[in-house]
Amino acid sequence: GENVEQHPSTLSVQEGDSAVIKCTYSDSASNYFPWYKQELGKRPQLIIDIRSNVGEKKDQRIAVTLNKTAKHFSLHITETQPEDSAVYFCAASRANFGNEKLTFGTGTRLTIIP
């Protein structure tokens, strides 16, 4: 089955700086890679996703890059703000294979230092 590794497990950055979280996956058939943000005591919420036919996707201050050959993808947050503090999860799945499930990484606790 799919195995998703995520690094780092904790990350502290100064407000205004950039944060980068990296994930690798094992199943070369995986083709859908979402990122979720989970604030303390809340549900995970989808913040951005990317499919395997795209190398990069941006949405305001967040961007995701995908390297299919190396089987890794990354989340980039620029101009970080205190409200970006949360646990971030990457995930991977074989979309459209009829038995899809998201396999999550182990999470990164991001702390923005004011």
Partner 1 sequence: DTAVSQTPKYLVTQMGNDKSIKCEQNLGHDTMYWYKQDSKKFLKIMFSYNNKELIINETVPNRFSPKSPDKAHLNLHINSLELGDSAVYFCASSQGPGTGVNGYTFGSGTRLTVV
Residues in the site for partner 1, rule: CB under 8 A? 32, 34, 38, 42-46, 49, 87, 89, 93, 95-104, 106-107, 109
Distance in Å, CB of 36 to partner 1, minimum: 8
How would you class 30 by CB atoms within 10 Å of its CB: exposed for 0-12, middle for 13-18, buried for 19 or more? buried
Distance in Å, CB of 43 to partner 1, minimum: 4
DSSP string, 77-105: E-S--GGG-EEEEEEEB-TTSSS--PEE-
Distance in Å, CB of 104 to partner 1, minimum: 4
